Amino acid sequence: MENIFTDEYFMKKALQEAEMAFDKGEIPVGAVIVVNNTVIARSHNLTELLNDVTAHAEMQAITAAANFLGGKYLKDCTLYVTLEPCQMCAGALYWSQITKIVYGASDDHRGFVKMGTQLHPKTVVVRGVMANEASELMKRFFAERRK
Amino acid sequence: MENIFTDEYFMKKALQEAEMAFDKGEIPVGAVIVVNNTVIARSHNLTELLNDVTAHAEMQAITAAANFLGGKYLKDCTLYVTLEPCQMCAGALYWSQITKIVYGASDDHRGFVKMGTQLHPKTVVVRGVMANEASELMKRFFAERRK
C-alpha cells in the first residue's frame, strides 16, 4: 500500500494554516508538528492580532507540541512550516532538539540559512516542499496589501 | 540631584527576578523592560515549570511589554537581562526593534554574540552590568544541581 503520509501531505495542512493567517490579514505562514504520522500541533502567524513579534507560527507550534507531549524536547517530531524559519524560530527549534524540519519557501532575506542561525546537531532539514504554493500565497498577500 | 535610575538600578530588579527563578529550580535568568524609567514588564525563566523551551525571561518580557504598550514594537524601551540573550531571544529582540539591551553575564557558549545572531540596526547594546552577581547566581545554581 502506498504511504499517504508524505511530506506533501503534512505540508498541505501547514498551507491550510497559512491560508487562515491570510484571511486574518496576517503574513501567511502556517505550521504543523507531527509525531508518528499524527498532527499534535497546528498554528499560524498571529503577530498582528496579538501585537506580539514572538507569535510566529513555529513558536506557537513548539509551545503547543511540548504541551501535548508533556515535555519540552520535541523528540521524534517533525515541524512542517510553509516559510523558512527566522533567527528567533530557528533558535527556539535549536533548544527543542526537534528531529526534523521541513519547510516550503525560502526566505533569502531573514531566513535562518542567510542569518547563519545554528540548529541542533540532531536536526535534519528538508527544504522546498510545496515551495511554489507557499511562495504564491505570500506574493498574493503582499500584492493585496499594496493596493 | 543624582539620577537614581542607572543601569545598575534596573539590573538589580532583573537580578531579583533571576533569584525568583533560582528559588523555583529554574536556570536563574531574570529580565525587566523599562520605558521612561518605569518598569513595564518583569519576568524570569520558566522553561522547566512550563515545559517550554520558548519560556525564556526575555521572551516573556517582550510579550508583556508589547501587551502593556498596545503595540508590538518596543520603541524607547530598554531590556535589562542578567544573562546574554540566546539566538532565539536575540531573534525576537531583532523583530521588536528594541532601542537598548543591557545584559549582565556573558554566555560564551550559546549567547548571541558567539552565535552571530543579528540584532536590529537601531538597537544599542551594553554588556557586563552587574555581571559578577549574575554569574555567581548561575554558578551557585549549577553547583547545587550537581550535589
pLDDT tens digit sequence for B48-87: 999 999 999 999 999 999 999 999 999 999 999 999 999 9
- Cell numbers at A52, concatenated: 506580539
What value, to the nearest 5°, has the Cα angle with vertex B62 and ends B61 and B66?
115
HSE of A99, CA atoms in CB hemisphere, 13 A = 9
What does the pLDDT average to over A1-24? 95
pLDDT at position B1 over 80: no
Contact B63 A72 (CB under 8 A): no
Contact B95 A117 (CB under 8 A): no
Q: Is A77 on the interface with B (CB under 8 A)?
A: no
User: pTM of the entire structure?
Assistant: 0.96
Q: Is A117 on the interface with B (CB under 8 A)?
A: yes
Over the stretch B81-104, which tens digit does the pLDDT of each residue have? 999 999 999 999 999 999 999 999
| pLDDT value of position B2 | 78
pLDDT at position A63 over 90: yes
Which residues pair with residue A105 across a beta bridge? A83
B145 pLDDT band, cuts 50/70/90, is confident
**What is the distance between the alpha carbons of residues A138 and A130, in angstroms, rounded to a whole number?**
13
Active site (annotated) includes residue B58: yes
d(CA A62, nearest CA chain B) in Å: 8
Q: Hey, what amino acid is at B9?
A: Y
d(CA B61, nearest CA chain A) in Å: 11
